Amino acid sequence: MTKSSNRSSGKPATIHDQKLQRGEGGELHQFAEGGTPILTTAQGGPVSDDQNSLKFGARGPTVLEDFHFREKIFHFDHERIPERVVHARGYGAHGYFETYKSLAKYTRADIFQRAGEKTPAFVRFSTVAGSKGSVDLARDVRGFAVKLYTQEGNWDIVGNNIPVFFIQDAIKFPDIIHSVKPEPDRGFPQAQSAHDNFWDFISLTPESMHMIMWVMSDRALPRSFRFMEGFGVHTFRMVNAKEESTFVKFHWKPKLGLQSVIWDEAVKINGADPDFHRRDLWDAIQSGNFPEWELQLQLFDQDFADTFDFDILDPTKLIPEELLPPIPVGRLVLDRMPENFFAETEQVAFMTQNVPPGIDFSNDPLLQGRNFSYLDTQLKRLGSTNFTHLPINAPKCPFHHFQQDGHMAMRNPVGRANYQPNSWGEGPRESPQKGFRSFADVEQGPKQRIRAESFADHYSQARQFFKSQTITEQGHIANALTFELSKVENPAIRERMVAHLLNVDDSLGATVAEQLGIKDLPPSAETTIEVRDDLPPSPALSILQNGPKRFEGRKVGVLVSDGADARLLSSLASALAKEGATMEVIAPRVGGVEAAAGNWIDAKHMIGGAPSVLFDAVAVVVSEEGGQQLSNVPAARQFVADAFTHCKFIAYVDAAVPLMEKAGVSVDLDEGVHLLGSGGNVATFVQALGALRVWAREPSISL
């Protein structure tokens, strides 16, 4: 029976239970009763608790003296040479943040004092698990890290495209990442969670169940960085000039709306263009279609925190937007690519502890650990404590300090005094009025390794997330879980996961069990707190219920042949341009085709190198001869068949019917297949594209 407790089962081992045995090399090992080796530090000291960092009170801040946590994170931060341990595959762009109005009521942060002020920004998007050379569309969390170069120093909002996380305490971060990375004895799988180690850890870590629902949903397969939401994950504080505190959660809402791809599509995109997300961001900015997000804040006081159903310090929980609507406070625009990828995107250093005066931290134990850990990461990856001397990391406001020397120092204090206080009247001084001041919260309680009881409900919000999805999205989650667990070789791990899923939703657990061939359902996992089934669905958690309902920023791929109607293509391109969308032409050969009127139609792709998965919708504009010829070309048939299978809108001309039929697509099957024959039909097709997909088609398709 799986337990929700984060402590190991059985009586804790004491020094009297330990037995010393010599290994093959003559070294002594400590064993607890029963023969299980006792976990120790690298110095050999026995560890009493590897699940919880040392805190001041059950919900208090993490204590600096926690040497086991420090050693564990220190080693983890230095594991990878030379790439990042996590978020290795990233892509970034420059831009600016524009404040809508003053937020002086809530914070004294300078960035929020004046309406209309623009602050330089750099944003890095990334996958988490894969290496630098992995693919863009792995099923994974996406990093969404924003560096704001404010007039009071750099502010890093280091978040993800998912508002919750796998673990509640930073001491478990090395474990979750170790479990998802390539298994150490074989060095694979790469950029995948579909293997035994990951699901073994997850099945033994009930606090991960909410995050698992998100990662198995379409949120983990974004169509583009531009169509992706961002979250600060943790609860932070805003502190105003009167030293009054307001809790805050950060949300980045994409102007172009949310959109994802499905798994079969992602697999094929990774084969056709492993740089799909990078290319999309590059093309958008280079063409002047600058991506934009709106910063929205969930602001709440201590009274709300005290009455909320869950602990606001728990990073595996969120606050539903229907309960606490986010308030728009500014916009983020990306309008310039880096001049050099390595110098900027690779060398940028984000740290959660980088906050301006007026922004402060909560006691979220995962946030506390991140604040403690990130300096180590930068030292290892960038090779020097002077990583802030790199232009991408340097503040854009005046800065003064006494830090000196070190590897690759590019600037040092000037003058006689490099210390403070000094008698020479040289150098900067602290400012109690303008400097950063921590909120004077009152903490009490014993120093102990403990998980607050208010963190113990691991299933209720996971259930709420699942119930908030459309039937289509729920099916995708079930299929994702089935695929991932089908790659797990150990049957006990699969059964443990099904036991957890039964706590999330009976039908979900039963569906996954059936698809995995588990004949006898295991009992649901034991819980320490009864799972709530009274939480209302939150439509804000669904992608399909929050789609843009417009085709702006998307792309149509048009397959053509010699003899194609150039006027029809021009009409289609014009109609798409009015919607803020683009069109790319695919031809049987490189270069293009000759139109019916004798003019030349340039093509960006040839059919063998441009599958329909690269586009949001497709059209087939061919001559009668071209339609017949392309019906015998496997890549052309696959182009149409995949578009139909992936529930995309398809436009065609009469001459394309032979190709459509050979691809298994009936032209009158559903409302997503449109005949083009006049300007009016073009307009009807383009207008329909705002729905993005024809999800009603999916139940009839077997992927």
Q: Catalytic residue positions?
A: 87, 160
Contact between 251 and 144 (Cβ < 8 Å): no
Query: Of 259, 191, 265, nearest to 224 (Cα)?
Result: 259
Query: Alpha carbon of 396 to those of 157, 283, 545, 556, 618: distances in Å?
Result: 17, 28, 40, 41, 45
Show Cβ contacts of residue 381 under 8 Å, excluding neighbours closer than 6 positions.
Answer: 80, 82, 83, 84, 349
Contact status, residue 480 vs residue 216, Cβ threshold 8 Å: yes
State the Cα–Cα distance between residues 589 and 157, nearest whole angstrom. 47
Rounded to a whole number of angstroms, the CA Rg of the chain reads: 28
Tokens coding 399:
């800065």
How far CA 183 is from CA of 83, 447, 589, in Å, comes to 18, 36, 43
d(Cα 505, Cα 464) in Å, to the nearest integer?
A: 9
User: By the 8 A CB rule, do 652 and 626 touch?
Assistant: no
The answer to whether the CB of 229 falls within 8 A of the CB of 161 is: yes
Q: Is 578 exposed, middle or buried (0-12, 13-18, 19+ CB in 10 A)?
A: exposed
Nearest to 260 by CA among 543, 646, 35: 543
Which residue, chain included where needed, has tokens 């946590």?
69
Query: Token digits for 611?
Result: 């599958």
Place of tokens 């009976």: 506
CA angle 446, 447, 451 (to 5 degrees): 95
Burial (CB count <10 Å: 0-12, 13-18, 19+), residue 284: buried
SS3 content of the chain, % helix, strand, coil (to 5): 35, 20, 50
Between CA 591 and CA 420 the distance in angstroms is 69
Question: Kind of pairing, strands 236-239 and 245-254?
Answer: antiparallel
Locate 701 and state its tokens. 């398709």
The CA distance from 478 to 434, in Å, is: 53
Place of tokens 């599958």: 611
